[in-house]
Amino acid sequence: NAGVTQTPKFQVLKTGQSMTLQCAQDMNHEYMSWYRQDPGMGLRLIHYSVGAGITDQGEVPNGYNVSRSTTEDFPLRLLSAAPSQTSVYFCASSYRGLMYNEQFFGPGTRLTVL
Amino acid sequence: SQQGEEDPQALSIQEGENATMNCSYKTSINNLQWYRQNSGRGLVHLILIRSNEREKHSGRLRVTLDTSKKSSSLLITASRAADTASYFCATDGGSNYKLTFGKGTLLTVNP
């Protein structure tokens, strides 16, 4: 199993550009999520999904869109990048929800917006 | 808003010593989880403790939970240089879908 994979590992954007961060998991997990991590901060939840076709907002959803067309993939779209979105982005998955299940994290995407 | 807050923010110890990190949270929870993050890497799950559990062990890790004080502690015994990492607690705030992380404790184990 590859676990949770993310691409790209690094990305530099100019303000106003759009891009999609890719996330995939091969563990047949129902729950997937996106976090951002800023210096000195813990992870903050952006969006999550409890299954194909079902997504919901987390703590900091503004400026980001998600969709979940398959169980395996959960892409994160930046519609019009802003310097405030400079961060490290982590995708994670778990079997079913978080109540008694651990999350498996991807290696992260380091994004810089100029 | 940060649900869990770790203390201390940074901890430096010698190899072989024990390391204790604390986590405080604000609302009732179903479970509390601890994660480790090595520099520049993703988070790795260490241990999950349910709200009706008071203590849990996994190898050199010991986690306690006091729901009356809304606090948890992570003890790493006989630390090794490889334990150098940031440690985060995460709580579900009663939700099955939203996990809130603290800012973490940076542990440095000196050889």
The tens digit of pLDDT for each residue in A15-31 reads 999 999 999 999 999 99
Which residue shows structure tokens 């891009």? Answer: A19
Gap between the Cα atoms of A89 and A60, Å rounded: 12
Secondary structure class of B42 (helix, strand, coil): coil
Pair of tokens at residue B58: 């996994």
DSSP string for residues in chain A: ---EEEE-SEEEE-TT--EEEEEEESS--SEEEEEEE-TT--EEEEEEEEETTEEEE-SS-TTEEE--SSSSB--EEESS--GGG-EEEEEEEESS-SSS---EE---EEEEE-
pLDDT of residue A96: 85
Is residue B36 pLDDT above 70, yes or no? yes
Asked if A103 and B104 come within 8 Å (Cβ–Cβ), the reply is: no
Closest Cα in chain B, distance from residue A101 (Å): 8
Is residue A78 pLDDT above 90, yes or no? yes
Going B96 to A23 to A86 to A108, the CA torsion angle's sign is positive
Asked if A108 and B96 come within 8 Å (Cβ–Cβ), the reply is: no
pLDDT of residue A37: 96
Average pLDDT over residues A33-51: 93
pLDDT of residue B1: 46
Gap between the Cα atoms of A21 and A111, Å rounded: 10
Asked if B42 and A42 come within 8 Å (Cβ–Cβ), the reply is: no
Of A42, A107, A108, the CB nearest to B101: A42
Of A31, A33, A90, the CB nearest to B42: A90
The mean pLDDT value of chain A amounts to 95
Q: What is the chain B residue with the closest CA to A60?
A: B1
pLDDT of residue B3: 62
Asked if A42 and B4 come within 8 Å (Cβ–Cβ), the reply is: yes
